[in-house]
Structure 1
């Protein structure tokens, strides 16, 4: 295994090239990481480079596909097992975003389903993903759920770095990420792994 330090800009450029090289059909790309690694920032940074490469991009965040509070908090607001197993509406994400982009799908996706802050439906409108378009999804704990992607990127953090960069009020989530690391092995199954212990100095993990 080789660890290759890169700047954030180089990381974005290399990922954009790799995504664009996957082909001209619709693509589903996942940026998977704990919130402390800020997967949304990397996903957002990829939008313009992909568009410059001739690809339309629809940005989606898993946080907009959480289940209602009555289901998420059934075992309390700080239960790590519920956070791991029950918070994400996996079926809704697949039905409304990922399945329509598969070959032969309608291409009509719903960018958000649920507003967790108001605990109400987001009332978003469907958007069309063109034949060469890309759905770019960010979120955490997403690998190992049988969700279909053409490319998966995992931003990996050591347990110590994750604890250091996670706000104290959210330390109750750390056992969920320990379980994720043990059960899903994201650093093993992802197509691309980026070491993100220091957000200013990412490193690509290569065979």
Structure 2
């Protein structure tokens, strides 16, 4: 069960909903929630989806974690490869062709192609979305060059390294030290992503999610 959201979170989510609807009144909309691992993407995306439902919108939720590549492909460049983490973790083509593009077109789509825990392909029953619907997707690398133009709107979550890796340690039992050797693949892989066309700068909204109960909007300085 998700923890109840704070009044501050509720207010911010209401502002974001109004902003999204100001730009996109109707149609099938694709919304990305991106940021480094441990930034709080899943919980935020769930809360955003609930806030969007509150105005009567039909909302679907999905996660890039259900579009991983098989383990052999993910580690083909080596267990410690940062390039492998960024380039090979996710089946970007499947995410596009099985979920995002069909959703936008009103065609049958699936919300998963791979079970990460069991490392096997899955074939869930296909769904279709009504003419006015929103798909909220959370995950790593959603604003990479191959995907960034498909989204109608996107949120980027910031969190300091120590906070993010601390959350990962609590969730996964990993080392909480960002500089630990076991974390090098993920830290450096995300750095490669940040260098690949400034994904953070391309997000519609940037939030400091250091404290999820007190998220703070970050406004870019264009001067």
Q: Do both share a fold (TM > 0.5)?
A: yes
1:128 maps to: 128
Q: How does 1:6-25 map to 2 (within 5 A)?
A: 7-21=8-22, 22-25=24-27
CA contact (8 A) 2:37 2:164 kept: no
2:67 maps to: 65
1:85 equivalent among 84, 87, 90: 87
Query: Distance between the aligned counterparts of 1:160 and 1:183, measured in 2?
Result: 23
TM-score for both structures, normalised by structure 1? 0.87
Higher strand share: 1
CA contact (8 A) 2:30 2:136 kept: yes
Q: How does 1:25-174 map to 2 (within 5 A)?
A: 25-102=27-104, 105-147=105-147, 148-159=150-161, 161-167=163-169, 168-169=174-175, 171-172=183-184, 173-174=186-187
2:179 maps to: none
Q: 1:146 to 1:28 in 2, by over 3 A?
A: same
> Which structure's relative contact order is higher, taking Cα pairs within 8 Å and 6+ residues apart?
1
TM-score for both structures, normalised by structure 2? 0.81
Structure 1 unmatched runs, 5+? 1-5
User: RMSD value over aligned CA atoms?
Assistant: 2.0
Count of residues paired in the alignment: 200
Structure 2 unmatched runs, 5+? 1-6, 176-181
CA contact (8 A) 1:193 1:205 kept: yes
Return the offset for 1:86: 0.7
